[in-house]
Structure 1
Amino acid sequence: MPLTFYNPPSSILASGTTEGVAIGGSKSIISIDSYHNFYNEGNIYTEMSWAKFYEEEGLADQIDTFTTTEFDSIREDPEALTDAIIKIIYQIINNQKIFYGIADFEVDAFLDANTTVIPGLKLDYEIINKFMEAHQRSREKNLFPTITLNEKGVKTIKFEFQGSKKDNLHIKGSKLEDLINRLRLAKGFAVGLVCNSINAANLYIMSDNIVFSKDELAELYVDDENIKLIEYGMKRKVLFPISYFRIDIGIRSLETLELWDKIKDSAELNKAIGYYDRYINALVYKKFKPAAQSEKIGRNSEDDFYNMTPKERKKALKDMEKAIELLTKEYKE
């Protein structure tokens, strides 16, 4: 079932024609709601240009000139970046959503078969060349989708994750507390390709090293089956590539920012992260409290829980979760 992406960056559906292509990229902080819809809470940078092709015969896919169409960036400004992150964290808490991660969408119109322009994604020359050919066909037939406005005038697109490990990005759960229970310890990233189909933008995951606990070891892999599906779809001309993506997941995705070492000691930033930590711990407590009470696990009341230190809360939640897992296992046996 397709999800909705609210206020997506323009780079995710960058277009092209026989006269030129959109080139550039964006990095955005993403939150999710209980239905796992994406919300762009703010861009760290957006840099988009229109690359015009030469008009001379034989140079139809060679770039003549660049014209900047969109530029906004705080990625090199520590103070502005810190302020933006703090604002976004409180925004997420106030709107009862979850900090999902940081999403990069980069587009080069597949004009360079030697690179994917996205960190962490390595593909063979032959594969990128096929993307290049498919993108050229889509430019010739003007097949690019557009970002639409919903009834409230908000920009939206429909999208789906595809791949053997898509559940690493499309977290399962019907309630906010289910999602945060998975995301609170999540770390790692996924990389892949944004393709267009009839009903939605498809984010094909080609590799990821996402883990959901401290004990898991992160290992990168290449989803060869997913790559074959993309090739098959392009061959049948029902699928065509638009841009590359990288999604760093969880609150720890902030550590991947270039300026993280310069901003990580900010008192106000740590205060905001502390508030977010208490917010998500309360959600997890809400998830496990009914089961814990029914099995009479622990003696702490809800007031006791909120009076604990952050370290004590984490341990209490972990103990509660392990106890419930053990009881569930024994019940099934």
Structure 2
Amino acid sequence: MYARPAAATAAAALGVSALLLPGPAAEATTQTAAQTAGRHCEPLVIAHRGASAYAPENTIAAIDLAADMGFAWVENDVQRTKDGELVVVHDDSLARTTDAEQRFPSRAPWKIKDFTAAEIATLDAGSWFGAKWAGARVPTLRQYLNRVDENGQKLLLEIKKPELYPGIEKDTLRVLREEGWLDRLHVKHKLVIQSFGADSVKAVHQQRPDITTGFLGTPAVADLPSYAAFTDQINPSHTSISAEYVAAVHRLKGAHGERLWISTWTVNDAAGAARVNGFGVDGIISNNPDVVRDAVD
């Protein structure tokens, strides 16, 4: 349905690639617009685990499809293998999105931390989604970063379940640096790191204070100032917010002295998109980014 050569044209026509996240990831003109208007004229739409309603989540195919559809920003999940490799998977078990149960029947519950990167590389991460996707692999973070760059995309990177992987923040930053993602261009325009773990977000901010960070969750309004000390974004579930909550977030400045940004997840239908758009959110994270884009454009 979407031709790869048309991706850049579609993105330019829609203005997707021009929308930059606030904080150190934003250019001065974008900051001025956000500060003056309180938000962008329409929310940024971020492809959740790639275009995951249409291709197996967190695979190269999913981010390629998001690029074909004209989406500049993709979201992913990063975890660590037994031998220290970072891989892109959402669940801490391989059971749901790979054939690990069939391939390694004696190794329940098939936790990522109990498998080597070489073992995970042999798994089929596409057949569960449909025969068309058979043979898709679990990408390493290095492979994923390289493809995002090749596609001209930008990354909302989630450090998943950091309590299972002590030191994963340092590991993530090391891989990002080695793959060229901590240069000025990427840090200012192409990268946000988020987590449900406040300590994990703090660790990233302490180790690389220039990186835009996000906290996944809905802190109480009274607690928002303490989060603003170490993060640039508050990214809550769409079921947990209201216009009043969004306004409370926007009243504060984040770790880089700019208005806190709020991206909500996971909105997959037009009605939900219209609802959170009415609240004034800055970004919408979706498995169906095309549906959301049509609803808010």
Give the shorter-chain TM-score range. under 0.3
Q: What TM-score, normalized by structure 1, do the two folds share?
A: 0.23
